[in-house]
């Protein structure tokens, strides 16, 4: 679970800012139930988790196996499934795309609560987009309801770099994100913008 900053761009004629923000964010509420659908085991994440576990000592793997009460020939695969919260009893079936569960979890879920940011170092919200200082949020939502974000892994790297937690070089993805944010903001210079502290 983590917090992140999001900028929400609103039409210039917005009367009720809180209501409009809630309307734009609703499709991305993580607790919003949707029609049941098949969720497949993400093979890329599964393989990455197997590779990670394979780098750990056999002693540590054995300790995890005892802790999770698993045994057999596929311990690392079973541990990878557990780490991805993919439990055998929840698997509803297998088809041409692989194992799946039936879920009503919102696949677009991005947040579970948020609060308005009233001010930052050099700006108070709400304000006009053109009055924003140079700011790079983790996420940006446009008036048509589109959600743009840097992405979790690169967001963590950017956070560490910006807060001097550890020496990290700026990545190409971060540079591209900076340019994307500028491009979007330039399209809405006379619109209203608010900042949120979001949690997921």
End-to-end Cα separation, the chain, in angstroms:
5
The token pair that represents 137 in the structure block: 């949020």
Residues 6+ apart with CB under 8 A from 127: 192, 193
Q: How confident is the model at residue 168 (pLDDT cuts 50, 70, 90)?
A: low
* Cβ–Cβ under 8 Å, residues 39 and 100: yes
Number of domains into which the chain is organized: 2
Element (H, E) at 21: helix 17-25
Instruction: Quote the percentage of the chain above a pLDDT of 70.
Output: 90
Nearest by Cα to 64 from 81, 44, 47 = 81
DSSP β-bridge partners for residue 124: 119
Q: What pLDDT score was predicted for residue 121?
A: 81
Do 126 and 179 sit in the same domain of this protein? yes
Taking only the tens place, the pLDDT of each residue in 90-106 is 999 999 999 999 999 99
Last residue of a domain, one of 103, 120, 149: 103
Residues 6+ apart with CB under 8 A from 73: none
CA 111/CA 200 separation, integer angstroms:
5
* Cβ–Cβ under 8 Å, residues 106 and 115: no
CA 125/CA 6 separation, integer angstroms:
12
Taking only the tens place, the pLDDT of each residue in 31-81 is 998 999 999 999 999 999 999 999 999 999 999 999 999 988 899 999 999
DSSP code of 198? E
Do 193 and 169 sit in the same domain of this protein? yes
Residue 184 has pLDDT above 90, yes or no: yes
Last residue of a domain, one of 81, 103, 125: 103
Do 136 and 180 sit in the same domain of this protein? yes
Chain centroid to CA 127: 26
Q: What pLDDT score was predicted for residue 171?
A: 76
Do 78 and 126 sit in the same domain of this protein? no
CA 140/CA 136 separation, integer angstroms:
9
Q: How confident is the model at residue 2 (pLDDT cuts 50, 70, 90)?
A: confident
Do 78 and 159 sit in the same domain of this protein? no
Nearest by Cα to 37 from 105, 102, 94 = 102
Do 138 and 182 sit in the same domain of this protein? yes
Give me the domain span that covers residue 99.
Answer: 37-103
């Amino acid at each position: 679970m983590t917090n992140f900053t999001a900028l929400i761009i609103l039409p210039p004629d917005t009367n009720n800012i809180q209501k409009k923000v809630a309307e734009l964010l609703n499709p991305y509420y993580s607790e919003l139930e949707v029609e049941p659908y098949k969720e497949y085991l993400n093979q890329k994440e599964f393989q990455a988790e197997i590779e990670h576990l394979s780098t750990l000592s056999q002693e540590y793997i054995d300790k995890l196996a005892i802790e999770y009460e698993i045994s057999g020939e596929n311990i690392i695969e079973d541990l990878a499934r557990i780490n991805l919260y993919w439990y055998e009893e929840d698997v509803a079936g297998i088809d041409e795309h692989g194992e799946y569960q039936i879920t009503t979890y919102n696949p677009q879920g991005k947040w579970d609560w948020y609060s308005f940011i009233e001010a930052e170092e050099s700006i108070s919200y709400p304000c006009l987009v053109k009055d924003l200082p140079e700011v790079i949020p983790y996420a940006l939502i446009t008036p048509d309801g589109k959600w743009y974000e840097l992405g979790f892994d690169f967001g963590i790297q950017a956070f560490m770099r910006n807060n001097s937690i550890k020496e990290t070089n700026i990545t190409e993805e971060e540079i591209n994100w900076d340019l994307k944010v500028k491009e979007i903001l330039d399209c809405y210079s006379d619109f209203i913008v608010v900042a949120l502290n979001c949690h997921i």
